[in-house]
Amino acid sequence: MAWETAAEGMIAAEAPASARIAFIRKTYLHLGGAVLAFIAVEAALLKSPLAQPLVQTLLGGRMSWLIVLGAFMLVGWVAERWARSTTSPAMQYLGLGLYVVAEAIIMLPLLYVAAYYTRDPNIIPTAGVLTGLVFAGLTGTVFLTRRDFSWLRPALTIAGFAALGLIVVSLLFGFSLGTLFAAVMVVVAAGYILYYTSNVLHHYPVGSHVAAALALFSAVALLFWYILRILMHRR
């Protein structure tokens, strides 16, 4: 549409209402598509005969998991750069797809254990429902209050590096971070959801819906991971 083309590149908060609404709608449609794609890929992996060998490879040792985490961070960086491409829509979608697949692979060990060793067939759906409820509540808070949570960025950056450091140390020295760490990470993930959602309203340019969806998906995946870990610890 002409109005949407004219608003391309404008910050969403400064764009005409019609362009801003279209951008927000596209962002959440792409987020929903990414979540559905993740579920499909993860389900296919869990039912595949390659699931157990792949899990054993990923969890082959403390150094193996460190390498996996490092590779995931590199892939995530590349995927985000591609999703932010301003010249190639195909590159944007390739970045989002790459990140979804990477999340499905790195979550496979946790979901494999949850699916086959917890003796609770509802644990994964329960984690999914709780994640959806928390996400909906946080999203509603931002949209209703229209507050700008960009001030959270320094705290989230520090929390992210601190969490990564603790994870690396726990892998090197072979100790579990436990339920308290998972609970703190749920709070951090909630902070990221507030931050990215407010960015959709206030800071992302119109036309960057793929990059915005990727950012939101990364926060939702982080929230799901630690909610599931808490449920597994309680079992």
Per residue in 171-188, pLDDT (tens digit) is 777 777 788 888 998 999
Exposure of 175 by Cβ count < 10 A (0-12 exposed, 13-18 middle, 19+ buried)?
Answer: exposed
Q: pLDDT, tens digit, for every residue of 40-86?
A: 999 999 888 888 888 887 776 666 667 777 777 888 888 888 888 77
82 located within any domain? yes
Average pLDDT of span 152-181? 83
2 located within any domain? no
| CA dihedral (65, 70, 74, 77) positive or negative | positive
Rounded to whole angstroms, the Cα distance separating 43 from 9 reads 37
DSSP string across 46-65:
HHSTTHHHHHHHHTS-HHHH
84 located within any domain? yes
What residue numbers bound the domain in which 61 lies? Answer: 13-234
6 located within any domain? no
Rounded to whole angstroms, the Cα distance separating 49 from 28 reads 34
77 located within any domain? yes
Using the predicted structure, report yes or no on whether residue 113 has a pLDDT greater than 80.
yes
Domain count, the chain: 1
7 located within any domain? no
